[in-house]
Structure 1
Amino acid sequence: MPRFLDGRTRRAVRLSRGAGAAAAALGCTMLVVAGCSSSSTPSAGASSRPFSPNVSSFSGELPSSVASAKSSLLASVSAAAASQSAAAASFQASVSAQVAAGRAEAQSVLAKTQGSGNAVSDTTLTGLPKAQAAGFNAALITVVNNTRASASYAIKVEFLDESGKVVDTNFLGVKDLAPGAKAQPTAFSSIDRDKALVARVAQAQRY
């Protein structure tokens, strides 16, 4: 500043410079605010809806770990189904063979029997859980010879649905049961496996 300026002039110059600096600072502040405002406010063309991809346009394969887990699960389910099917076939074959041994004779005896027969009191029936009977409706028939001589038994077991209708019948035969001895043949129904059937001893004849 030239030394020949008087005091009043020097003060005017200093005030002018201070005002300029303040204006510059204010301008910077406005620029910063404007910059922040523009960065946080969406533009007029922007959409507020969430992004939703078109899945039909996707391609490729499952990751190997996911595909392996899926394959393992399917194999496990298939093995379980095969195991259950095999157990059912085994149970059916075993009991059918047991029943076939005395079926014809039991049918013949009961065809001549009046009413429920003379040995209903010698028999008791216990329902078997489906898990134990490979998914079939089945019942264990316990026959006890309460006489003093050997005897044979012909037994008719009926399976009823929830309405009380007879939907299946088994004929069981027990040959030459000793006095006081016990036999336990199994009766089962291979129909309506998806329903709960009730079994009952309809006839029992000692001969």
Structure 2
Amino acid sequence: MSVTRLKGSERARRRILVGSALGGLLLAGGLAACGGGNGQNAATSPTAGTTSTPNASSFSGTPPSALASSAASAIGSARASASAAASSASARASEFEASVEAETQRRSAAAEKELQNVKGRGNALSEVAMTGIPRAQSGGVLAVLVTITNKTGSDASYAVQVDFKNSDGKVVETRYVGAENLKPGKKEQPIAFSHEPPEPRLTPVLAKAQRY
């Protein structure tokens, strides 16, 4: 064998040894990175103190600040809508209350006018009854439920006078209620409210009831 061939074989052997050594070092390094301190196979995770910058191009959707602004805008809009709805409902309730109060006053005035020329207690006492309303249900106000029942065979209107008397039997206040165009056998139940203070206590009395 020539010297040149021996030198070439030696070089090749050295390359193989160096390559094997490098391969071993790389393998050991890889195992150290993958293995836990207890020798068990653990999932690959970044080492402590290592940070990585996310790729912005991988994100989609609205940035957090813009999302918060959008949510706040939606909440504000919802609150405004709810406030407007509540205001509208309150306005409708006020209108309804006003219309009811106006109708009550009109009927009260009509009943009072009808009873001005009635002698005695009227012709419809048997068609009217009264029931006291507990003050807990009337907000502390003295009130009575007046039940008017048409016991005739034709339509009829009614005027009722309720007197509120004190312990001496003196009339302190008078209220009027009524029913109009009541069908035979039908009834209405208006309420007579006292506008006097809770004390001294008054007693409601059915003074007159006229059918016309």
Q: TM-score range by the shorter chain?
A: 0.5 to 0.7
Does the 8 A contact of 1:99 with 1:171 survive in 2? Answer: no
CA gap of 1:193–1:97, structure 2 versus 1, over 3 A, is farther
Structure 1 residue 94: Cα displacement: 8.9
Aligned with 1:128 (options 125, 133, 141): 133
Query: What pairs up with 1:158-169 in 2 under 5 angstroms?
Result: 158-169=163-174
- Structure 2 residues not aligned, in runs of 5+: 1-93
1:173 partnered with 2:194: no
Cα distance in 1, alignment partners of residues 189 and 113 from structure 2: 21
Q: Is the 8 A contact 1:153 1:173 kept in 2?
A: yes
How many pairs are equivalent? Answer: 117
User: TM-score, normalized by length of structure 1?
Assistant: 0.53
Q: CA RMSD in A?
A: 2.1
Q: Are residue 149 (structure 1) and residue 149 (structure 2) matched?
A: no
The one-letter code of the counterpart of 1:135 is G
Summarize the Cα distance change of 1:122–1:103 in structure 2 as closer, same or farther, 3 Å threshold: same
Structure 1 residues not aligned, in runs of 5+: 1-89
1:112, CA displacement in angstroms?
Answer: 1.1
Q: Provide the C-alpha distance between the structure 1 equivalents of 2:147 and 2:180, rounded to a whole number of angstroms.
A: 14
8 Å Cα contact 1:118/1:205 also seen in 2: yes
User: 1:200 is matched with which residue?
Assistant: 205
Shift of 1:178: 0.4
Deviation of residue 101 (structure 1)?
2.5
> 1:123·1:143 contact (CA, 8 Å) conserved in 2?
yes
CA shift digits 1:140-192 (9 cap, x unpaired): 00010000001000110011111211111101121100000010000011112
Question: For residues 24-173 of structure 1, what are the structure 2 equivalents within 5 Å?
Answer: 96-97=101-102, 99-173=104-178
Amino acid at match of 1:137: L
What secondary structure, in the 3-state scheme, does the structure 1 residue paired with 2:164 have?
A: strand
Partners of 1:164 and 1:118 in 2: CA distance: 24
Moved over 4 A (4+): 92-98
- Give percent identity, aligned residues only: 44
Q: CA deviation at 1:131?
A: 0.9
Q: Indicate the SS of the match to 1:205.
A: strand
The secondary structure found in structure 1 opposite 2:135 is coil
How far did residue 197 of structure 1 move? 1.5
Deviation track 1:92-140 (CA, whole Å, cap 9, x = no partner) reads 9798545303122111110111100000110001011111111111100
